[in-house]
Amino acid sequence: MDLVHSCHVRARASAHPVRTPTGWAHLQYLETSLALLAGDLERAAAGADAVGDALWRVRKFAAASTRSSLLAVIHAESGRFDDALTAFSVMESTTYSTSSAWLKAWILAAAGRDH
């Protein structure tokens, strides 16, 4: 984690939403992931929105699905399984629906459901 935090500091110093929009999007994803790992779900939820906004500028095809998958995990981690499934539903209409089926299964298992 020391190496991750060191890289985060360097990325934060060099990434910019206009000058380096792809780097900025990756930084937003990193910060959201770190918040999630730290259990700071409120900061992670705000980060998911920031990731979606940043990706909209550089990877429109992945912006909504990335945001929704992050929110699905965040909601599931907070025990809000219906909200997690609602967030995940965005994924079901994308090209990522098959490869992300594990996430829905994980949410359902965490909720003690089979469907």
Q: Mean pLDDT of all residues in the chain?
A: 95
The pLDDT of residue 105 is 97
pTM of the model: 0.91
Give the tens place of pLDDT for each residue, 12-32.
999 999 999 999 999 999 999
- The yes-or-no verdict on residue 74 having pLDDT over 90 is yes
Following CA atoms 57, 62, 68, 72 in sequence, which dihedral angle do they give, to the nearest 10 degrees? -130
